[in-house]
Chain A
């Protein structure tokens, strides 16, 4: 069981002591608590300004939820932080879409963005980690392609100067930079924990983060253009195009369904994660892994962060997880007929303009007891 560090204590410590000491105290009190994805607190910063005064801008890098390394990366790459924030938003949006009809529906809110669900090393935590790492890579890559960011690198190493110069050999594609940046920022805290104490949870997070980014990279589409003599394929240039993020979400959801339960195995100096059931195939670099089985999410549970399924809408006819039987955990449901006004027979014109008629339709709404 993981100890939960009381939020009140944290607040008082930061108020009474200077920042360094507070961090030290925090470490003492909370060594057993996991501080998963605390950087998501960036989402609460109204908007990561890229043009404000310098001291104002640096402030967001000093929020206590960022680790020392993350705060350093933040200060160095201020303009990318907005993309990181947008990436986190995209991840939550996608997570909620993928899980809209499951008992755990990726609901967010409260002090910790994802509630306490990330505290335990479940499949759900694995999914959240992988999709967030992928989303940050996705958004940073796109921002680089749009020319909004100036700091995008020319290769994997997030280096300051291109290795050989733009004139000589050009720049590599942005996805290399996007994934490298996601790796350095998102993984920073877990990397330290994995190196220092080889914590199984940190190893699990690192694996799942990397799995998310790998799914993004492996699903890039190769596209080519021939531009030789008279357009023949004597000269051919190829590049990689990013998939829509929905595609990444769907693949990661499949990985979620087939996630492997692992346990830490210590061999000499290193700790490795091995499947609990040795008859199963060893997980690959794109598979998700988890350490603890998930709760059933049927009832409200403060400890695990489960919100319960009371009052959720369900599908009467379905026998899958979105069906009333499973979603309501056999507690039964209430059916109501309600007439709803809908937009129908819509005609879409290419940009931004939909012509619809409005129809009234009676729908049956089923809510879990």
Chain B
């Protein structure tokens, strides 16, 4: 089989080319390591416990926003309570669970500035950290279900201080999993509680966000909710956003490499078409891989600076999924084509078993992703992980890297194929 590009190069030219590519790679690593900041920024936001005027029954929402820092940093629709478990609060008849709202206004002010999110920050993830203090007579009963009535809203810089616009409101269930060692069972110690997912926003399009969260209890004649959840002291929402600097460096690299790779692909295909023979399977696969890579490289992120695109998280998952699928198929065919056996291949059909395994894996991931991030487009509070099945899946998916797993499995699969025949 006559070669296209690399096969025609002399040893010296090949060495020059390889070292050039190596240098490019080193440069990229250096840019990533020295210029770009950490990929994401994390902030712990301690909820302000607001006492509100009207009690709301579970599953209902009011039209007010409870804002800890409104105009001139005074609270709006919110009487902050320092400690909801203090004797004064317990004695106070007005303080009832259905009148308490945990309010989180993000981002927090820092260094004498009112910070705001930038569109370069791309996405926002919220995680719940519930602080439950150990009390001998108020234990946590097994794995209680936490029922949250939660609202999420945004405000733009030019909006008045109390004008928040609703993004989503929902009643969510989360399984609380808290433990405490026997030797730490001392009054005032904290339970060790698992983090609970709260929300994921695929686009960070606005400047300020506000979360109003309630843990209501049911009226006496109804089935009880939020029972046996221990003595909740405080709720912290940990918000994670992509760093603007990281996005800038990353998108710049994408912008540089996208046209380069497109150009290389066109040149490569042009060279192949010049050959007197039809393109080989491996060459077609190389082109597919190039297309998948370019799809991944397409700097769509620029659009998010002007247009609200909540589907970006989903889209980038799909783009990465497609790239993984193309890469795995390429490896499979590459291995198959270079095997020193007498079986004639050279057609995609010969690889249907392997490719459908890859396809099936990627399809599963896609379905799973649609179930989580797809549904999140409608309800950012939705999480598949909170079901029992989801928690197990999380264990599988969370602790292991699915992409790498797929690669290893398919390599093993090929090895098995070779060994058996």
**Chain A interface residues toward B at CB < 8 A:** 97, 142, 144-147, 149-154, 159-162, 164, 166-171, 173-174, 223, 225-235, 237-239, 241, 243-247, 249-250, 346, 348-354
Q: Which of A146, A229, A243 contacts B190 (CB 8 A)?
A: A243
Judged by a CB distance under 8 angstroms, whether B398 is at the interface is yes
**Chain B interface residues toward A at CB < 8 A:** 37-48, 68-69, 73, 84-85, 89-90, 92, 95-97, 100, 105, 107-115, 118, 120-121, 125, 127, 129, 131, 133, 135, 137-138, 186-190, 195, 200, 215, 217, 226-227, 229-232, 236, 238, 240-241, 243-245, 248, 316-317, 320-321, 365, 368-369, 372-373, 385, 394, 397-403
Known contacts: A231-B372, A246-B187, A246-B189. The answer to whether A354 contacts B90 by CB under 8 A is yes
Known contacts: A144-B108, A167-B245, A231-B372. The answer to whether A237 contacts B42 by CB under 8 A is yes
Contact at A171–B41, with CB atoms within 8 Å? yes
Give the shortest distance, in Å, between B205 (CB) and chain A (any CB).
Answer: 15
Contact at B105–A229, with CB atoms within 8 Å? no
Contact at B95–A247, with CB atoms within 8 Å? no
Known contacts: A229-B321, A352-B97. The answer to whether A170 contacts B41 by CB under 8 A is yes
Known contacts: A227-B240, A230-B368, A232-B402. The answer to whether A346 contacts B112 by CB under 8 A is no
Give the shortest distance, in Å, between A219 (CB) and chain B (any CB).
Answer: 11
Most buried by A among B41, B118, B215, B320: B41
Q: Which of A241, A246, A351 contacts B232 (CB 8 A)?
A: A351
Contact at B317–A169, with CB atoms within 8 Å? no
Known contacts: A145-B108, A232-B403, A234-B401. The answer to whether A352 contacts B37 by CB under 8 A is no
Q: A146-B108, A171-B43, A233-B400 are in contact. List 6 more A-B contacts (CB 8 A).
A: A160-B112, A170-B37, A231-B394, A239-B44, A244-B190, A351-B95
Most buried by A among B46, B120, B243, B372: B46
Jot down 14 A-B pairs with beta carbons below 8 A, ordered by A.
A146-B45, A147-B68, A147-B105, A147-B109, A152-B111, A154-B111, A167-B118, A168-B244, A170-B38, A226-B398, A237-B39, A237-B40, A349-B97, A352-B96
Please give, as numbers and ranges, the residues of chain A lying within 8 Å of B248 by CB-CB distance: 168
Contact at A162–B402, with CB atoms within 8 Å? no
Please give, as numbers and ranges, the residues of chain B lying within 8 Å of A149 by CB-CB distance: 109
The answer for the CA separation of A350 and B132 in the assembled complex, in Å, is 10
Contact at A229–B137, with CB atoms within 8 Å? no
- In the complex, the 6 A-B pairs of residues with the closest C-beta atoms, listed nearest first: A170-B41, A246-B188, A169-B37, A168-B245, A146-B46, A167-B244
Contact at B133–A244, with CB atoms within 8 Å? yes
Contact at A225–B127, with CB atoms within 8 Å? yes
Please give, as numbers and ranges, the residues of chain A lying within 8 Å of B401 by CB-CB distance: 228, 232-234
